[in-house]
Amino acid sequence: MKPNKYKQSHSTEREFGGALGATCIPVFLPLTVLYLLSVCRSPAASVLQWPPPLTPAAQLWDPLAVVLVAGWITLQSFLYLLPVGKVSEGLVLRDGSRLKYPINGFHSLCITVALLLLCLGLGMPLGYLFELVLPLAVCAIALSYLLSMYLYIRSFWAPKYALSLGGNTGNPLYDFFIGRELNPRIGDFDLKYFCELRPGLIGWVVINLGMLMKEVELRGSPSLAMLLVNVFQLLYVTDALWNEEAVLTTMDIVHDGFGFMLAFGDLAWVPFTYGLQAMFLVVHPQPVSTLGAAGIVLLNGIGYYIFRRSNSQKNQFRRDPTNKSVKHLETIATATGKRLLVSGWWGFVRHPNYLGDLLMALAWSLPCGMSHILPYFYVIYFTILLIHREARDENQCRAKYGLAWDTYCKRVPYRIIPYIY
């Protein structure tokens, strides 16, 4: 029994438009996923097309999709439980304890890729994922609803100190959406950590590969544009899983409860909207010149460099500020005892990692040419997401660091893009 000091009063602060946002988003976003997928495969591929391209009901439902999604979650759960890789501790929780997490996402990716190559070698028609993509999305959406309901219900049995600070408003719709319990676990199996980087992120590159194989079926070989999209996004996912430990200090793991927002984002939104470019290219092949490809590769490289170096610099600084790679950097003290970097990448803009991420997002869309806006969906959505995320983070940092944060903002006035934003 934990002492009373962990008792938590109802949280009052509401994000994402409060109860109204929490009611509309779970309806609107799943419909957006289905709409984008159907538009993407239509000849016009126009997001301004109204009425939207009609999808016969049969295309939304296929029992094979249920089997594949169930098999996929089972496979990834099994790989999560494999005793390979190291085990790391998360940040200290409010009750003073620290949870343990398996760092074997990269192993899961490698084993999944090996299994896929085996399937391809055995002649499995991976290109069929193109036909199945809508029913698969429907299943993933249904799964995220079911999971969020389970999470919401079970949170009432969780001790008060295990609830997230923001997901405890007492408004059922809002709490269901934002997530009540911070680290829901079944035994040692951490549901939020598992969903964060594995089924959706690895699923995304598998769907991309399916689109590439569909192109091979249709045109004999993959196009340069399709190869660029596949390689860039595989690099991004590989990087995320290689640096899996870094997720333990992110807002998602440390601050947000596990509810519909993260469950749907991880299981349905990421795998089915982040790879729209590859889906688009199957139906709308685009020529890319060698020079154009070189420019796009350079842009992706610059974005990746900024993204990786800035993320690694902050992670290293938070883990060990005396490390020789960061100890020369200028910092300011805060009342919490933690320091803030004011030179190096974090003295350039307040979110250099977002800047790098956005440059990469642009590089993923450029191979799709300029004729359609749809393949630019990711970069547009991502810009909005990161501006919103930056504002959320800023609020949290101001609450944590007070005056020191204001000093940092004066020293480093731009948020994401130097001299612009």
What residue is closest to ligand NDP based on CB?
A: 353
Contact 363, 299 (CB under 8 A): yes
Residues 351-390, interacting with ligand NDP (CB under 6 A): 351, 353-354, 357, 389
The identity of residue 118, as a single letter, is: L
The distance in angstroms from the start CA to the end CA of the chain is 49
Q: Which is nearer to ligand NDP, 152 or 354 (CB)?
A: 354
Near ligand NDP by CB under 6 A: residue from 204, 232, 280, 307: 307
CB of 339 to ligand NDP, least distance (A): 7
Q: Give the whole-angstrom CA distance, residue 173 versus residue 176.
A: 5
Can you tell me which residue has the tokens 């690694």?
Answer: 312
Residue 66 burial (C-beta neighbours within 10 Å; 0-12, 13-18, 19+): middle
- Residue 160 touches ligand NDP, criterion: CB under 6 A: no
Question: CB-based contacts of 319: which residues, under 8 Å, 6+ apart?
Answer: none
CB of 355 to ligand NDP, least distance (A): 9
- Residue 74 touches ligand NDP, criterion: CB under 6 A: no
Near ligand NDP by CB under 6 A: residue from 49, 74, 250, 395: 250
DSSP letter, residue 340: E
Q: Give the whole-angstrom CA distance, residue 123 versus residue 25.
A: 41
Near ligand NDP by CB under 6 A: residue from 211, 311, 377, 404: 311
Contact 191, 151 (CB under 8 A): yes
- Residue 346 touches ligand NDP, criterion: CB under 6 A: yes
Phi, psi of 416 (to 5 degrees): -125, -45
Beta strands 86-89 and 339-341 are unpaired
Contact 15, 388 (CB under 8 A): no
Closest by CA to 318, choosing from 302, 329, 307, is: 329
- Residue 323 touches ligand NDP, criterion: CB under 6 A: no
- Residue 341 touches ligand NDP, criterion: CB under 6 A: yes
Can you tell me which residue has the tokens 């389970």?
Answer: 150
Near ligand NDP by CB under 6 A: residue from 180, 192, 314, 372: 314
CB of 321 to ligand NDP, least distance (A): 9
Near ligand NDP by CB under 6 A: residue from 24, 70, 114, 251: 251
CB of 309 to ligand NDP, least distance (A): 11
Q: Which stretch binds ligand NDP (CB under 6 A): 42-50, 159-167, 208-216, 337-345?
A: 337-345
- Residue 340 touches ligand NDP, criterion: CB under 6 A: yes
CB of 3 to ligand NDP, least distance (A): 26
- State whether the Cα torsion 154-155-159-161 is positive or negative: positive
Q: Give the whole-angstrom CA distance, residue 72 versus residue 84.
A: 20
Size of the site for ligand NDP (CB under 6 A): 20
CB of 67 to ligand NDP, least distance (A): 28
Which residues form the interface with ligand NDP (CB under 6 A)?
250-251, 307, 311, 314, 317-318, 338, 340-341, 346, 351, 353-354, 357, 389, 393, 396-397, 408
